[in-house]
Amino acid sequence: MDERPKVLHVWDIGGNGAALAKVMGHDCIHRASNDPYHGTRMYSDRFVVRGGPRWFYAQAWWRARSADLLHIHGGHRMAERLAVRKMDYERPYPSEGGMVMGRDIVPRKPYILHYHGSDVWDHQSGSRRIAELGAARILVSTPDLLKLEYEKEPTYVPTPIDTGLFARRDIPNNNRGLAILIGDQGRDDTLRRLREYGFGDIEWTFRRRQYGHGSHGSITMHKDMPAMLSKYQYYCDFKWNRVHNKWHEATSQTALECMSLGMSTILHDGSVRDTLPDEHRLENVAERIGEIHREAMETRGMMVDGTGRAVPKGRA
């Protein structure tokens, strides 16, 4: 019988949860309707659940019962629904001679709260409080997210890139560039910024970020992204942050994928890079995540012994 700790990755952002689950031998659960580009199911069809929200939560709750640890990628609401029990209490308050009422946050299961961007940018710290108080660890996938307020000290873990899928290719020297616009980001504003940094003579193609089937015409499935991206010599990673009304400082996942392919990738500050930093390689991120999972098990009354088994403290 396999006694290694069982980890369930709940929800999936950009295929990150599924990729980590696949390489680490974990389970993952995501809604099929929220996986229109098959970034999750390309790793395993078992990772997606077909049906409405209630059916998804029922399936997630059922799988969570047999897991030792939950790794939640879907933001604070996902944690509140699956992993947190709120217990109201009334206790004596000696200095006042009366009673005080409050609420304890008791995790049903140890869980990691992993933020990837909009799941934290678009929500005030107060709305995330309950989920963050109950989390064993809070992870963020880009350094700029460290600047936000949290209930616990966050840890930066680089966005994982599957270098098997996004393997280095021969990139054409065709002076063509691709820029993917998000939200209400304007084409003219992006082109103006490109010219300011000296990239105005490139033949730019502007596309809107894909958000769902049919929302912006033709779509590109996740497995076909390498072929689509590598038609261009350059990729522009200028992204507008509509919450703070400024340009994003973080490097997007698509930009990292372009670097992995060998494309000249223009970052937020105008610098150019065509090689993926080693810290973003999937196997390296998986190793770091494994260390964090071990620490989370230890802090929640369980620890992992030398063979990888989950056992109570004092018995390893």
Mean pLDDT value across residues 151-167: 97
DSSP string, 186-245: -HHHHHHHHHHTT-TTSEEEEEEPP-STBTTBS---GGGHHHHHTT-SEEE---EETTTT
Residue 279, SS3 per DSSP:
helix
Phi/psi of residue 76, nearest 5 degrees? -70, -35
Positive or negative: CA dihedral 98, 102, 106, 111: negative
For residue 161, give the DSSP letter. Answer: B
Q: Indicate the SS3 state at residue 160.
A: coil
Residue range 249-296, pLDDT digits in tens? 999 999 999 999 999 999 999 999 999 999 999 999 999 999 999 998
* pLDDT at residue 182 in the model: 87
pLDDT of 3 reads 52
pLDDT at position 316 = 45
- Write the pLDDT tens digit of every residue in 104-123: 555 678 999 999 987 887 77
Which pTM value belongs to this model? Answer: 0.87
| 176-195 mean pLDDT | 94
CA distance 288 to 218: 37
C-alpha span between 239 and 246 (Å, rounded) = 9
Identify the bridge partners of residue 115 per DSSP, sorted by sequence position: 140
Sign of CA dihedral 287, 290, 296, 299: negative
Q: Residue ranges of the alpha helices (H) in the chain? A: 16-24, 53-65, 76-82, 118-121, 129-134, 187-196, 225-229, 253-261, 282-299
Q: Which pLDDT tens digit goes with each residue over 34-54?
A: 999 999 999 999 999 999 999
Domain with CATH 3.40.50 in the chain: 7-160+281-312
Q: Quick one: pLDDT band at residue 216, thresholds 50, 70, 90?
A: very low
Predicted confidence at residue 181, as pLDDT, reads: 92
Phi, psi of 245 (to 5 degrees): 55, 50
Residue 213 CA to residue 107 CA, distance in Å, equals 36
Which range among 35-39, 86-90, 139-143 shows the weakest confidence by mean pLDDT? 86-90
Q: Tell me the average pLDDT of the chain.
A: 86
> CATH 3.30.450: does it fit domain 7-160+281-312?
no
- The CA distance from 308 to 79, in Å, is 26
CB 301 within 8 A of CB 148: no
Q: Are strands 246-247 and 240-241 parallel, antiparallel or unpaired?
A: antiparallel
DSSP summary character for residue 53: H
